[in-house]
């Protein structure tokens, strides 16, 4: 039995998750044992239980094998005190489930090569895996806050740190992924300035000794940001910390044409995982049936691959998405002239038909 917690969240979340649920239901129709249970997160959690991560949601997620999440956030929650903000629900569920390894692939589909903001020759055939550490770094470091200095001036502050075990475990995941790909890993840091990064680099270099087949390189994050738009195909696996990974993965998503195409997986040490599109809740287009559900559907493919070890089903879903693109069907974000523009629900139906 595959026990999946489904957390649609806010904005376009419910619409895109509904399409991914159609895919899961189609697979169930084919005999796969799938159980789905829904719960609130983000603004929806706040509306339902005055908490962006209601107790019942965390319990359900903990009792499930995998979590499918839409997106969180909305204008109406922007003025809430920080602990009540939708984003806190996301950060807390990642931390609460120990999901330290965040896989964000940036893959350019041949059908969408013209949708990229870069020249086709720079991105055609691009296949990068960004591995972002997800439960440490300046995102979670204490102390943090706003304090008053002795001279009476106020100061905002956060703390960046990484413990050895945190770096080690994510580095092992990174080398494991690299072993299954082109055996190249680039660790991205800011070791020329930050002590945390110097330490990160030392530990990654040590772990690398256990993976002599993988070619390890190091790059400063500012240079990496530039190289990603200059010559992105030089990368295979990028391993980096939480905040650098947040920024670089958004940048990398644009290489592929649309952030609406990018899935992600966040895994714990036992491959239990939370699967969500890389994009946000896009409140400006919510409820209009125009959002691209493919990133969420592709997140289900990652779920089959990483949590349930069903590479066959993962490829079947990915194949269905490819087929739909080959048929010329496009949501607005990836539309180009000559193609057929369709809505969110129609795209979900098309993928199910192609399955
Ligand atoms: C992401 C998002 C989140 C993050 C926000 C919504 C907290 O940007 O998943 O990349 O920064 O991790
Ligand atoms: Mg982000």
pLDDT of 299 > 90? The answer is yes
Instruction: State residue 254's pLDDT score.
Output: 87
Q: How far apart are CA 281 and CA 76, in angstroms?
A: 13
User: Which residue minimizes the CA distance to atom 6 of ligand 1?
Assistant: 87
User: Which residue minimizes the CA distance to atom 5 of ligand 1?
Assistant: 87
Active site residue 77: no
CB of 246 shorter than 6 A to ligand 1:
yes
Task: Find the DSSP H helices in the chain.
Answer: 13-29, 43-49, 55-63, 86-96, 120-123, 164-180, 195-208, 221-230, 242-255, 294-306, 311-326, 344-354
- d(CA 124, ligand 1 centre) in Å: 27
Question: Which numbered atom of ligand 1 lies nearest the CA of 72?
Answer: 6
Question: Which numbered atom of ligand 1 lies nearest the CA of 264?
Answer: 9
List 77, 139, 162, 211, catalytic entry: 139
Categorise residue 112: left if φ over 0, alpha if ψ from -120 to 50, beta otherwise: alpha
Query: 239 near 204, Cβ under 8 Å?
Result: yes
> Given the structure tokens 């949501």, which residue do they identify?
331
Residue with the bigger pLDDT between 176 and 257: it is: 176
DSSP class of 151 = T
CB of 90 shorter than 6 A to ligand 1:
yes
Q: How far apart are CA 11 and CA 49, in angstroms?
A: 18
Query: Which CATH fold would you assign to the domain 1-100+268-355?
Result: Isopropylmalate Dehydrogenase (3.40.718)
CB of 349 shorter than 6 A to ligand 1:
no
Query: 94 near 88, Cβ under 8 Å?
Result: no
Asked whether the domain spanning 108-129+136-257 has the same topology as the one spanning 1-100+268-355, the reply is yes
% pLDDT > 70, the chain: 100
pLDDT tens per residue, range 243-293 = 999 999 989 988 988 888 999 999 999 999 999 999 999 999 999 999 999
- d(CA 29, ligand 1 centre) in Å: 34
Q: What is the mean pLDDT of residues 192-201?
A: 98
Q: What is the mean pLDDT of residues 15-29?
A: 97
Categorise residue 183: left if φ over 0, alpha if ψ from -120 to 50, beta otherwise: left
| Domain map (residue ranges) of the chain | 1-100+268-355, 108-129+136-257
Q: Which CATH superfamily is domain 108-129+136-257 in?
A: Isopropylmalate Dehydrogenase (3.40.718.10)
Instruction: State residue 117's pLDDT score.
Output: 87
User: Per-residue confidence at 68, pLDDT binned at 50, 70, 90?
Assistant: very high
Decide: helix, strand or coil at residue 36: strand
Query: 305 near 100, Cβ under 8 Å?
Result: no
Instruction: State residue 8's pLDDT score.
Output: 98
Instruction: State residue 259's pLDDT score.
Output: 86
Average pLDDT of the chain to the nearest whole number: 96
Instruction: State residue 226's pLDDT score.
Output: 98
Query: 253 near 292, Cβ under 8 Å?
Result: no
Question: Which numbered atom of ligand 1 lies nearest the CA of 246?
Answer: 10
Active site residue 190: yes
- Please tell me the pTM assigned to this model: 0.94
Range with lowest mean pLDDT among 47-56, 118-127, 197-206, 250-259: 250-259
CA dihedral over 231, 234, 236, 239, signed as positive or negative? negative
Active site residue 349: no
């Amino acid at each position: 039995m595959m026990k999946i917690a489904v957390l649609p969240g806010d904005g376009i979340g419910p619409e895109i998750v509904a399409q991914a649920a159609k895919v899961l239901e189609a697979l169930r129709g084919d005999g796969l044992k799938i159980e789905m249970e829904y719960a609130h997160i983000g603004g929806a959690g706040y509306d339902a239980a005055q908490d962006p991560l209601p107790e019942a949601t965390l319990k359900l997620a903990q009792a499930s094998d995998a979590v499918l999440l839409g997106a969180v956030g909305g204008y109406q929650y922007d003025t809430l005190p920080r602990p009540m903000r939708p984003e806190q629900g996301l950060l807390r569920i990642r931390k609460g489930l120990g999901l330290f390894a965040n896989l964000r692939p940036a893959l350019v589909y041949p059908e969408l090569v013209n949708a990229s903001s870069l020249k086709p020759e720079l991105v055609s055939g691009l296949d990068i895996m960004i591995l972002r550490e997800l439960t440490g770094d300046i995102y979670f470091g204490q102390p943090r806050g706003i304090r008053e200095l002795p001279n009476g001036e106020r100061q905002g502050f956060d703390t960046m740190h990484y413990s050895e075990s945190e770096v080690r475990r994510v580095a092992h995941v990174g080398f494991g992924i690299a072993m299954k790909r082109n055996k190249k890993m680039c660790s991205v840091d800011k070791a020329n300035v930050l002590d945390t990064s110097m330490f990160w680099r030392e530990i990654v270099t040590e772990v690398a000794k256990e993976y002599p087949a993988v070619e390890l390189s190091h790059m400063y994050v500012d240079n990496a940001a530039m190289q990603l738009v200059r010559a992105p195909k030089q990368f295979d696996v990028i391993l980096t910390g939480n905040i650098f990974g947040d920024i670089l993965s958004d940048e990398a998503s644009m290489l592929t044409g649309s952030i609406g195409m990018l899935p992600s997986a966040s895994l714990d040490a036992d491959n239990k995982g939370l699967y969500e599109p890389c994009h946000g809740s896009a409140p400006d287009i919510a409820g209009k049936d125009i959002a691209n559900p493919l990133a969420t559907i592709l997140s289900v493919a990652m779920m089959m691959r990483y949590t349930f070890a069903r590479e066959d089903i993962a490829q079947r879903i990915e194949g269905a998405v490819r087929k739909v693109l080959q048929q010329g069907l496009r949501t607005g974000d990836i539309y180009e002239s000559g193609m057929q523009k369709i809505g969110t629900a129609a795209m979900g139906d098309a993928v199910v038909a192609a399955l």
